[in-house]
Each structure stands twice: as C-alpha cells, then as structure tokens.
Amino acid sequence: MIPVKGYKGERVAVLGLGRSGLATAAALRAGGAEPLLWDDSPEARAKAEAEGFTLTDLTRHASLEGVACLVTSPGIPHLYPAAHPIIARALELGVPVDNDIGLFFQSAAGTEWDEMETPPKIVAVTGSNGKSTTTALIHHILRAAGKPVQMAGNIGKGVLSIDPPGEGEVVVLELSSYQTELARALTPDVAVFTNLSPDHLDRHGGMGGYFAAKARLFTMGGPDRAVIGVDEVEGRYLAGALAQGAQDDRVIRVSSGTKLEGFGWSVFARKGFLAEWRKGRQVASIDLREVKGLPGAHNHQNACAAYAACRALGLAPKLIEGALHSFAGLPHRSQLVGERAGVRFVNDSKATNVDSAAKALQAFPRIRWIAGGHGKEGGIASLKPLLGSVVKAYFIGHSARDFALQVGETPHEICETMERAVARAAEEAQAGEVVLLAPAAASFDQYPNFEKRGEDFTARVKALIG
C-alpha cells in the first residue's frame, strides 16, 4: 500500500467505493487522514461497512464543510454531461477534487528515494486503443530483463494498492482519460501516448475535451521522456508542442506505417519490421512478423511504443526483441485461443468500437468475422472499405440485423447468439482462415462486460476443438 501524504489529521471525502475507492480510503487512513466514505449504491456502502469503514452521507448539504479534499472514482462525471451533485457541491465550496492517480503521484516518492543508488521510475501509458497491451508489454519486457516491476492503474491493481517501489523498481501504469482528466498531480518519468480516436465524447464534451484529458499526462508535470504515437494529427500536435525541435530526443515519435527518419529519436514499423532511428541513422531493427502475441499493424504500433519506453529506461534492443517473442498477449485483445485443422480462433472482445474492430480486421488476410452486440452511433458502416478480408460475417446480439444492412455484398448470417455464431463459423472455416471475434459493439445487451463475452467465445471454441 502507498500511504497518502499531505492529509495527516485532515478529513478527506471519498466518493465511489469500488476497487479504487476502497483502496484510496485505506491509503488515506494509513497516511493519518480521516476518510469520509460514500457511494450512491447501497450494495457498495454495505461492502465498505463489511470491511470496517464508517460511512458519511455526503449528500447532506453541510457534509463537505471543513473537508480538505474530495477524492472521486474515475467513472463519476465531474463536468460533462453534468457534474455529480456531490462534486458540484465541492466545487461550489472550493474543496479541491482529486482522484487516486493524483494521490499516488503526490505520495509515491519520498525522501527515501534520494538515498537509493537507482531510484524507482514511473511509466504511464494513455491513448484510445492499445494502452492495455502496451502497458502489459512494457511490464513483460521489464520482467524478462530481470527488473523489479509492478503494474497498476486501469489494469492490474489500483495504484494505491501496490507496494512502495524499491531500489531500481519500475511502476507501469495504464491511465484512462477518466483518470488523467482530474488528477491534480501527474509526474511520470516516461509518458506514452498510443493514439487517439473518438470515444467517451459525452463525458469530455467532445473530441477537444477528450484530447485535452489525455494531454494532461504530458503537460502537467513534464516527463523526462515522452513516447508519442504520431499517426493522428493530435499526436503530431502533441509531439510538436513538447519538443524544442525535430532533433529534440526527449520526444520519441512512434508510427505504424510511416518512416520517421528525420527526428532526434523515432521508432516505427513498416511491412512487419520495427526500426529505431536516432539522429539520422538506424540503430536497431526487429522482425515482428513472427511475434505471435502481437498480430497486425495495430499491435506493431503497440510494440513500437513499448520498445521506445523500454529503450528510454535503458534496455538493450536485443533484450527487448527476445521478450517480444515470449509475450502471449492479453485476454480479449487479439488473443489466440485455439487452432484446429489450420483454422485459428482469435478473441478480440475488447474491440468494442469500430476503430478497434478496424484494426483487428486489418490484422488477418481471411476472416470469419463474429460481430455485434449493443451497437454504437453510426453502426459499422465505416468498416465497409475494410471488409475485403472478410470471407463471411456472423452477427449476434441486439444490433445483428442493423449490422447486416450495413455490410453490402459481404456474405453474412444473422446468428443472434455466440453459441450459434461460433458453431457456424467453425463449421464453414477453411485452413488458413481466422475465426475472429471483433464485435465493434458494446456487450451490455447479452453480457455484463466485454470480458464475459470473450470468455463465452473462448469456452465455446475450446469445447469445439477439444
């Protein structure tokens, strides 16, 4: 646990008692603060009481008077589309509003770090797509290199639940826009921006607000190194805003598909090969085509970002290359779950929007595509130019019929359930093809979350192939 510093003897309100909220309460108490806990859910309040915490009804008008800070969980809106009433009241009173990420950066480092020969480093990863894979890949590479490392944030443990980092240790954090937009302290040593595509726009008041939330990771504290994906205009803008010029190697530009040879430091992938360039010359190259845990151009971008972050930490290219080959991938993210008679079955249940699904559809040459669920605005019409690799589509869930109307001449079948879709795709697939679950839709019509959807796909595939 990371005890929270700066609030000893103070009353600190905590709104939201999920995983991060309860961890925050414990860390505040360990740091000598008095946490005042509340959640709108009776079930969450009961769980907190069962763990020995005392509740305070923060909905009462006077409950926030004299409070030093309000700490809120990431999923609770504080501005758009409308602030939660408790947060709105805190803002009226001038009570600072923070989250567990801000408390972590405020509290993780201490005077003991000054006495270490190799102080800990913090790597933080954000972006629209690929941040979980990039975070896990950095963690995997560091472990393979024998480095002490912990992973937390939007993946793994809550940030305040990790052990205090020790000599030479690296903490790798995945941070969502919900987490970066409110944190009052953001000071990583290495910060990574993977890419940007439209998501959570109602929460951020549009694309500009969404990008601004991500950019705070780089502009708040100024990381020693910034790894920036520059395949979108926002990434190019961010890299330009941070660098003093093209040769400023504090910014490492990353791309999947574009040569980046004219910069102080860049890492890019083209035609399956990763290349690192520094000050006008190539210093390393890695063949990514046989790295089974990272298929497709989108994963090659993830590999470039992770490679750049690990190079910024001082790891050698050959060491990183070996670790890439032993990376198995994350569950529900281009995860190979089985193979039968030359047919591969890939679970990309995390592809909950068309941008993620587009990347999955470009990763394989011949696809039996399982898609559908609770479709988002616009459906899958924008994917039509990418359907040349789809041998046949099998649609499930609430949006199955809507999706079927948007795929033009692409062969398709309305299956409605995962059970039928897997059975039909497996029955019709030929050697060399991939049965791919990339839903391009939310899961909430049939499953509580994308993980359960992916687990259902995986279980049905394993039952079929034995």
Q: Tens digit of pLDDT for each residue in 110-135?
A: 888 989 999 999 999 999 988 999 99
* Cα gap 18→191, rounded to integer Å: 26
Rounded (10°) angle between helices 207-219 and 233-242: 30
Q: Has 99 been labeled as part of a binding site?
A: no
Q: Give the three-class secondary structure for 117.
A: coil
Phi, psi of 375 (to 5 degrees): -65, 155
Q: Has 128 been labeled as part of a binding site?
A: yes
For residues 47-83, b (16+ Cβ closer than 10 Å) or e, as one string?
ebeeeebeebebeeeebbeebebbbbbbebebeeeeb
Element (H, E) at 11: strand 11-15
Q: Has 266 been labeled as part of a binding site?
A: no
* 154 catalytic residue (yes or no): yes
pLDDT < 50 stretches in the chain: none
Q: Has 134 been labeled as part of a binding site?
A: no
Query: Considering 47, 200, 376, 392, which one is annotated as catalytic?
Result: 200
Per-residue confidence (pLDDT) for residue 218, from 0 to 100: 97
Q: Has 73 been labeled as part of a binding site?
A: no
* Cα gap 11→5, rounded to integer Å: 13
Peptide bond into 331 cis (omega under 30): no
Q: Has 133 been labeled as part of a binding site?
A: yes
104, 159 Cβ separation under 8 angstroms: yes
Query: Considering 121, 131, 204, 214, which one is annotated as catalytic?
Result: 131
* Cα gap 151→175, rounded to integer Å: 11
Per-residue confidence (pLDDT) for residue 245, from 0 to 100: 95
277, 261 Cβ separation under 8 angstroms: yes
Distance of CA 133 to the CA centre of its chain: 7
* Cα gap 372→369, rounded to integer Å: 10
For residues 319-355, b (16+ Cβ closer than 10 Å) or e, as one string?
ebbebbeebebbebbbbebbeeeebbbbbbbbbbbbb
* Cα gap 241→253, rounded to integer Å: 13
Query: Considering 78, 121, 140, 154, which one is annotated as catalytic?
Result: 154
The domains found in the chain, sorted by start residue, are 11-98 (3.40.50.720), 105-325 (3.40.1190.10), 335-465 (3.90.190.20)
Phi, psi of 378 (to 5 degrees): 95, -15
Question: Which pairing describes strands 281-287 and 273-278: parallel, antiparallel, or unpaired?
Answer: antiparallel
Alpha carbon distances (Å) from 230 to 136, 187, 357: 21, 22, 20
* 325 catalytic residue (yes or no): no
* Cα gap 285→77, rounded to integer Å: 44
* Cα gap 226→283, rounded to integer Å: 19
Per-residue confidence (pLDDT) for residue 199, from 0 to 100: 78
Per-residue confidence (pLDDT) for residue 457, from 0 to 100: 98
Per-residue confidence (pLDDT) for residue 110, from 0 to 100: 85
* Cα gap 225→73, rounded to integer Å: 28
* Residue 62 tokens, joined: 């006077």
Give pTM, 2 decimals: 0.86
Q: Has 132 been labeled as part of a binding site?
A: yes
Q: How many CB atoms lie within 10 A of CB 245?
A: 9
**How crowded is the C-beta side of 68, counted as CA atoms within 13 Å?**
12
* Residue 217 tokens, joined: 């990771």
* Cα gap 51→33, rounded to integer Å: 17
Element (H, E) at 414: strand 412-416
* 173 DSSP β-pair partners: 124, 152
* 147 catalytic residue (yes or no): no
Element (H, E) at 391: strand 390-396
Per-residue confidence (pLDDT) for residue 298, from 0 to 100: 86
Q: Give the per-residue SS3 of 316-335.
A: CHHHHHHHHHCCCCECCECE
Per-residue confidence (pLDDT) for residue 197, from 0 to 100: 86
